[in-house]
Amino acid sequence: MLAIGSDHGGFELKKALLDVLNKQGIEVKDFGTYSCDSCDYPAIAGDVCRAILSGECDRGVLICGTGIGMSMAANRFSGIRAALCSEPYSAEMTRRHNDANILVLGARVIGPGLAEKILDIYLNTPFDGGRHARRVTMLEQVTGSDENS
């Protein structure tokens, strides 16, 4: 199952992508927001991340105005590898090399047609594994503290 969430800045793009996903028969759980009313993106990012980390959902999509806030919020969670993508090549490579489990989109940066193409590539590109698996494991070991220096 795919988790999806947006703040008010990403709401319209989320609606458009939900239509595409539903037409493709992809099972989606929508974590909000459900209107253009102002809301707090960290809470929605947290709900999507927890759904992935618990195994309720396999991967996720987060959308805000630029994608930056959602990326920052999602990547605070250990085990989440959220990638902000504004073009198809990055979406392919973040799946192939980073096994990204969340795609982040900026609704005010890209239009719905490009977002749909990026999403399609993200959903249909497998992780290459191999040497990249070692690097993903290394990412999970990064703590951000200075105690190992």
| Residue of 90, 79, 77, 59 whose CA lies nearest to 139 | 79
Distances in Å between the alpha carbon of 23 and those of 29, 35, 65, 97? Answer: 15, 21, 25, 29
Q: Which residues are catalytic?
A: 64, 97
Which amino acid type is present at position 98? N
Element (H, E) at 98: helix 88-98
